[in-house]
Homo-oligomer: A and B are copies of this chain.
Amino acid sequence: MLDYTHVEDLSAADIARLRAVYEPLTASVRELIDATIRTEVDADAVAAAKAEIDSAAARLRAAQRDGSFGIQFGADGDPMPWGNAVIGVRNPCAPPLVIRKEPDGSVKSDFYLGAAFEGPPGHVHGGVSAKILDHILGDAASTPGVHRLTGTITVRYRRLTPLGRLRSEARVTHTDGFKTYAVGHIADSTGVTVDAEAVFIEPKWARD
């Protein structure tokens, strides 16, 4: 069902080189996204900026892969989901989350959400919180080589989440055959704002 087409034999040095090329580009586009939302310059300045943006996009499109990024693999088998909407280091719309695995198997991430993630004024869009929780609970539920897919997720909003520095955590509670259950939350500096529970399914093609 899933087409992991972009499998290449990249060494650790290749991957480091690609990161060094593309991460600064992505960081610049993230800054541009924020500036695009917040700018109050006049129409002439907007037009001048737009011309530069169109020129940059044309340069980048001179050679590009067909379709979406997919997932590349390094020579060691590590996946490189660099286009991913939540963790992709080449996706300017990803915060991106950097997720740490703790010795007890739980996962944690500290991240910053700015103007691009707004719903209610000054606050994180509820859907953005759901997006992040779907990913981080899925990460807790996955093991090397087996990325489990969300079956059902329930997200409870305790109060509004302010834009700014946030933390998310998740852990597995139990497993039942090919189902893995996880819980997690998002918190600001004063405590939990949103929590979630979900069941993740091991894809049929990955069983046995």
Contact = CB atoms under 8 A, between A and B. Distances in A.
Interface in A168-196: none
**What number of copies of this chain does the assembly contain?**
2
Contacts of A24: 50
Contacts of A31: 54, 57
Interface in A36-52: 36-41, 43, 45-46, 48-50, 52
Contacts of A32: 29, 32, 53, 56-57, 60
Nearest to A93: B93
Contacts of A59: 41, 45, 48-49, 52
B128 A85 contact: yes
B118 A69 contact: yes
Given A39-B63, A152-B154, A68 B28 contact: no
A3 B46 contact: no
